[in-house]
Amino acid sequence: MVTWLPGGPDIVVEIDFAPVPASVPASAQKLAFSRDAGEYPLWVRCGKGGIKKIGGVMALDIRDAGRGVREAGS
């Protein structure tokens, strides 16, 4: 998702539930491209797998929050 801001950098949000197969461009590559283009990249993880740290890319890990919500509902 991309949010255009007049007078500011665009915000690019990538939401991942799990790592993607090697044949698909990885979120890390897409977010690094956005960063290099002068945009503000935000990586939201809400499923399984790790989060690769990328300089200049903000990562938001909401996996623990999601588990808490699921457990509260059961």
Structural domain includes residue 44: yes
Print pLDDT tens along the chain (74 aa): 888 888 888 999 998 877 666 656 678 888 899 999 999 999 888 877 777 788 999 988 887 776 666 677 76
Structural domain includes residue 48: yes
Structural domain includes residue 2: no
| Total domains, the chain | 1
Structural domain includes residue 33: yes
Among 12, 16, 60, CA closest to 38: 12
Structural domain includes residue 60: yes
User: Which range of residues forms the domain containing residue 34?
Assistant: 12-73
Structural domain includes residue 6: no
Pairing of β 11-16 and β 2-3: antiparallel
42 in Cβ contact with 16 (< 8 Å): no
Does the pTM exceed 0.85? Answer: no
